[in-house]
Amino acid sequence: MFNVGDKIVYPMHGAGTIDAIENKNILGEEQAYYVIKMPGEVKVMVPTNKAEQIGVRSVINKEEANKVIAVLEHNETEMSQNWNKRYRDNMDKMKSGDIYEVADVVRNLAFKQKEKGGLSTGEKKMFSNARQILISELVLAEHASEEEVEKMIDNKINISFDEYKTPHNEEETLNNNVVNKFIPFNNGTTEA
């Protein structure tokens, strides 16, 4: 049970604050609802008796926020090369409401966006949504501004992308740009 003023997370929507608990008569049924103020002056109503079932949870604390930020500092996790499967896998992570999974999606899609080929239109939208969900929770957990959290996320991702994906010496650059396997001509024969 949550109270007015509690900071909570509504999966797929992000973090907000419970503004009120109101009774509403909808379709002839009287029910109590959490009225949640979300970023951007959006208000969402969630039935109190179904909140836990649909994944509403308390915002993470400062210690957990540091662990979430650490996820952004690691290399990407393995993703399917098939964009459709990758999209479904990432959507499942987001629907879980687990902020660590959301951070994983943000980092992975940020890396993919920086690489040649980039993101599909659907993945761009998912990246934007996942990033906003992550930002909304970290703003409340870190007691920071949205701008400060955005800069911190971008900085962590840029540093980890540079560490894990950018060649750092001449040999790595050669290995990434040159075919390293001899391909014989004339069906493998050495005759001239």
Q: What is the mean pLDDT of the chain?
A: 88
> Which residue did the predictor score with more confidence, 40 or 140?
140
From CA 153, how far away is CA 83, in angstroms rounded? 24
Q: Are 92 and 79 in contact (CB under 8 A)?
A: no
For the chain, residues classed under CATH 2.40.10.170 are: 7-58
Give mean pLDDT, residues 136-160: 96
Res. 61: pLDDT tops 60: yes
DSSP one-letter code for 76: P
pLDDT beyond 70 at 39: yes
Average pLDDT of span 108-112: 95
Region 7-58: CATH code:
2.40.10.170
Residue 3 near residue 18 (C-beta atoms within 8 A):
yes
3-state secondary structure of 124: helix
pLDDT greater than 50 at residue 181: no
Predicted confidence at residue 171, as pLDDT, reads 57
Residue 172, pLDDT > 80, answer no
Contact indicator for 166, 77 with CB cutoff of 8 Å:
no
CATH number of 62-174: 1.20.58.1290
The reported pLDDT for the residue numbered 62 is 93
Residue 137, Cβ neighbours under 10 Å: how many? 25
Identify each DSSP E strand in the chain by its residue range.
Answer: 7-10, 14-26, 29-38, 42-47, 57-58
Closest by CA position to 55, among listed 45, 43, 46, 67 = 46
**pLDDT at residue 180 tops 50:** no
Q: Is 41 left (phi over 0), alpha (psi -120 to 50) or beta?
A: left
Q: What are the residue ranges of CATH 1.20.58.1290 in the chain?
A: 62-174
